[in-house]
Amino acid sequence: MTENRLDKLVQSVTKIFNSQINLAKSQGAAEAGTHLLRKIPLGYIFGFTCAVLATNKIEKDEEKVSLVQQVYTTLFDEPGMDIFKESCDLNSKNPDFQKGSVQGWEELHESVKDGKVPLGLADILQKEEGQK
């Protein structure tokens, strides 16, 4: 995979996430950005990003790592890699994280298959706002 294609994928994924975050904020989830660190939203981001790797047939480990690093550092700035490491641990241990991960994975696949716009993260952030 070329570096240009990888950069475009990172831009597309982070644009989808940021659009959903902004949508949630516009619908009253004022603290949507801080809710991203809760288990279900974090799981969604992890599952969605992993599904991007799968649907784009990214098989080389260095390309997978590069895409994930760039997505997480774009979304979470400097602590992005620590948050990714935490996500890897949570994926096998936390049912809420796993629920979000499955939702993100499935939604990306539905989006590719049906052309549906992914909105699951926005919905999750709205629910998280109601639980603060």
Instruction: Please report, to the nearest 10 degrees, the dihedral formed by the alpha carbons of residues 7, 9, 15, 18 taken in order.
Output: -100
Tens digits of residue pLDDT in 44-88: 999 999 999 999 999 899 999 899 999 999 999 989 999 999 999
Q: How many domains does the chain have?
A: 1
Q: Given its phi and psi angles, is residue 57 left (phi above 0), alpha (psi -120 to 50 degrees) or beta?
A: left
User: Sign of the CA dihedral 55, 84, 36, 100?
Assistant: positive
> Over pLDDT 70: what percentage of the chain?
99
Tokens of 8: 């475009």
As a whole number of angstroms, the distance between CA 113 and CA 17 comes to 19
pTM of the model: 0.93
pLDDT for position 1? 75
pLDDT for the residue 30:
81
Q: What is the pLDDT of residue 4?
A: 87
pLDDT in the model for residue 39: 96
* Residue 118 lies in domain: 3-130
Q: How far is the C-alpha of 124 from the C-alpha of 40, rounded, in Å?
A: 7
